[in-house]
Structure 1
């Protein structure tokens, strides 16, 4: 009787050398030590995957808890950066250039919720509990900047909806609402007054007698809105899973959560072994996210391969889709650095909105060192119809660098003391203390602390999009560094 010969590639060898150590088999059957190793590795790797996948979700949850801690515990209570944001607060790459006003919707409690946006307001957006886009308001939204009434509806709602609203259905009960107002003559007063006079948020059920708006001025106040990077991250995720409808995540994502003990309707109570593996998994996940942010692979460079300027949106799609496939690394990278998701941030809108570029290394491809002196030259005719800004951030918490300057940036309309060069270019200086004669162009850094920067252009012109204009690379100025230290 003839039998088919087993191809070599189908056979399991008796022993393999791997990163897990030796894996041993007896005629294809794993021994006890191998079984333990591979299950530990599986649970650890799933923990890492959950961390990378759930950064958007944990980030919204951190915003929600941060808002509640400053009194923003109902939809009609909103945080307002009346005098702009500064480094007292921890917000992922927040800026010092626009007047933020934001709130958290709790559709599960309030039901359909109304957002009345005043005319002349800046762009606004609603995102769900996974930082997925729900709708735009203001200029990018259906009101086109004229103002209007929006109605955000909870998942599963079957009641009758009234006429006269821009209606959007959210997949989650929790939603993050943020609007921006632009500076006028370099000041935030006009935008803040516009929000106070015209923004209204209230449950539809109370439309006949809406609660009075409460604007909580958080300029200069200490608050934290950033998710954890340790074991507590999984508790943040579990809180969201327990609160939201089960369908808001697809079965694949829910399956990975369940595999590490996070499941709707059940307590998250990992045993000693699983806790150890979760801690290892989140440590690896955190390291991976940081590599993606500051040493990214793929199409993240704004210009040539030798330039350190990076884009936020690899692939230039707000859903991170490339030929029908989601670029998971690009999504993780974005939400580890930033908040808010809207198509308006990637659309080519000449003269409208804002565009961004990130830089974390100097012209010699070294991380930026807070103890050194650097310069950045912006060539003449920065492609910004409205204004441009440079803001620097702490690489640890990805929020503004906390220095004596409080607002660690330079803005072409807020800082009239910025001095251009003779050719019309502008050089910005970065150092722990101001180089002599450069005070108006100086942003303070901290010795022994790394940092990165964002260049923003508001009202980007064609030269930004066709890349006929590009910023210089950051250059270390060793002579300035020696003078600052008093070296001969």
Structure 2
């Protein structure tokens, strides 16, 4: 009988631990470095998944400031298809206006929103919603002045009643909005009427510029290799971390990432961090593109799934926090608000994701596919089907320079019964280019089907979307 409490070493251990030499009941002294390499590698994999939303926003902010030349008084507006090519799972039809701000630098930050049809809000860098604005916010489209306060920061003593306050759960924030007015002239006027400035400078604020990507190449997806950890170290210097995450801070400390200290990893740590980032991304891809969460397919006999697996903006489930759900959504997308997972007919949005064809195979850029969209799509405003590159999770950068088709397209060809057939593939189908999105041979892709203002037949599942199937 083996003595109680002894650790069996008779079976080979997995991975690099299989190289461990055992000295009786303990690893041999010269095998200890192998054990610690494996420990730190596993810490890096878990820290990678945990940090995905934070690194994503931090990376995006560098593009605004370093590539586009934006400042803390500006907004960046994405209008053209080219503008959006670096934006993870962007909608290809509606403009985005947004920027990122550090409340430790600005102090209480004022956002003046004009009256008019807009929808937007503020989130922290863990991509939790701080507050909605515009038609979905407390101003209900009437506009007004908001003051954003950092964690633990009290409202200024001279704050008057004509300001609404939002208390951020993080030091760094993103403010963004969309104009809902279909008239481009009125929409442009709304964008230029927004003002952003520190409360301390309210008497003489700097003008708020509208900055454009202007065709410059940029990337908002999380960096790879050692750059992932450099970005994490950089944003961690100013960002707060929840009490629930202190064990992750212990992991970062072991990996050479600490507050107030330079990131100077040894050759050993560089090797482990690069391997951890590569393995962490493989885990993130499986966790995103082959979801194993309870909600499953939206219809039992379809491949379409609810893309957003988070229950709420706080990222908290019943009895646990949504670590893997958060990693799934924020690897494939950016930003979350309650309106993006609407449960009220006619309000908000619904996001369905297809990561495979109807046979369960990855969607391949060299193959031809069709998607049948039945008549009477239950969307109060509009619907769209969009193609994304799995490597970047951004709009497909195809020669066609178009990544979606939907009900807003005036030239969309509709069948006699009101249904629509869409085509995906490297070459235009015999039906012509109108309902076609071009894919790229050798590159896998996935699709979102968005419903803006989803209606009751969507929620009851009485309306059913076809699968993407090989032609």
**Aligned equivalents of 2:293 and 2:24: distance in 1?**
42
8 Å CA contact 1:182–1:188 kept in 2: the answer is no
**Aligned equivalents of 1:160 and 1:15: distance in 2?**
69
State the Cα deviation string for residues 240-295 of structure 1 (Å, max 9, x = none): 11233576883222112112110001111111111111111111101000111111
Q: 1:427 to 1:108 in 2, by over 3 A?
A: same
Is 2:178 the counterpart of 1:180?
yes
Cross-structure match for 1:395: 390
- 1:342 Cα deviation after fit: 1.8
5 Å matches for 1:269-280? Answer: 269-280=264-275
In the alignment, which of 2, 9, 12 is matched to residue 7 of structure 2? 12
3-state SS in 1 of match to 2:99: strand
In the alignment, which of 445, 463, 467 is matched to residue 469 of structure 1? 463
5 Å matches for 1:74-223? Answer: 74-81=71-78, 83-86=79-82, 89-158=85-154, 159-160=156-157, 162-163=159-160, 164-182=162-180, 184=182, 188-196=184-192, 198-218=193-213, 220-223=215-218
Larger displacement relative to structure 2 (139-148 or 328-337)? 139-148
8 Å CA contact 1:121–1:147 kept in 2: the answer is no
**Aligned equivalents of 1:295 and 1:87: distance in 2?**
29
**Aligned equivalents of 2:241 and 2:466: distance in 1?**
49
Cross-structure match for 2:233: 238
8 Å CA contact 1:377–1:427 kept in 2: the answer is yes
Is 2:438 the counterpart of 1:444?
yes
Q: 1:299 to 1:191 in 2, by over 3 A?
A: farther
Cross-structure match for 1:358: 353
3-state SS in 1 of match to 2:118: coil
**Aligned equivalents of 1:401 and 1:462: distance in 2?**
31
3-state SS in 2 of match to 1:365: coil
8 Å CA contact 2:342–2:350 kept in 1: the answer is no
**Aligned equivalents of 2:284 and 2:435: distance in 1?**
32
**Aligned equivalents of 1:246 and 1:54: distance in 2?**
11
- 1:433 Cα deviation after fit: 2.1
Cross-structure match for 1:38: 35
Q: TM-score, normalised by structure 1?
A: 0.90
8 Å CA contact 1:72–1:78 kept in 2: the answer is no
Structure 1: runs of 5 or more not aligned: 1-5, 478-488
8 Å CA contact 1:72–1:103 kept in 2: the answer is no
8 Å CA contact 2:128–2:315 kept in 1: the answer is no
State the Cα deviation string for residues 465-486 of structure 1 (Å, max 9, x = none): 2211121001111xxxxxxxxx
3-state SS in 2 of match to 1:440: coil
Larger displacement relative to structure 2 (31-40 or 451-460)? 31-40
Give the total of aligned pairs.
Answer: 467
Q: TM-score, normalised by structure 2?
A: 0.93
Q: 1:305 to 1:41 in 2, by over 3 A?
A: farther
State the Cα deviation string for residues 103-153 of structure 1 (Å, max 9, x = none): 122211211111111222332121112222211111221112221211101
**Aligned equivalents of 2:19 and 2:387: distance in 1?**
47
Structure 2: runs of 5 or more not aligned: none
- 1:229 Cα deviation after fit: 2.1
State the Cα deviation string for residues 73-120 of structure 1 (Å, max 9, x = none): 323211112x34446631100111212110122211211111111222
Is 2:269 the counterpart of 1:266?
no
**Aligned equivalents of 1:222 and 1:273: distance in 2?**
33
**Aligned equivalents of 2:234 and 2:198: distance in 1?**
24
8 Å CA contact 1:15–1:22 kept in 2: the answer is no
Cross-structure match for 1:480: none
- 1:404 Cα deviation after fit: 2.3
Is 2:377 the counterpart of 1:379?
no
**Aligned equivalents of 1:183 and 1:382: distance in 2?**
22
- 1:396 Cα deviation after fit: 0.8
In the alignment, which of 15, 18, 23 is matched to residue 21 of structure 1? 18
Q: 1:21 to 1:422 in 2, by over 3 A?
A: same
5 Å matches for 1:61-72? Answer: 61-72=58-69
**Aligned equivalents of 1:354 and 1:188: distance in 2?**
22
Q: CA RMSD in A?
A: 2.2
Q: 1:121 to 1:72 in 2, by over 3 A?
A: farther
- 1:67 Cα deviation after fit: 0.4
**Aligned equivalents of 1:199 and 1:221: distance in 2?**
24
Is 2:65 the counterpart of 1:57?
no
**Aligned equivalents of 1:109 and 1:22: distance in 2?**
50
- 1:26 Cα deviation after fit: 4.4
Q: 1:297 to 1:8 in 2, by over 3 A?
A: farther
8 Å CA contact 2:83–2:214 kept in 1: the answer is no
In the alignment, which of 306, 310, 326 is matched to residue 305 of structure 2? 310
In the alignment, which of 419, 428, 437 is matched to residue 425 of structure 1? 419
Larger displacement relative to structure 2 (206-215 or 17-26)? 17-26
Cross-structure match for 1:486: none
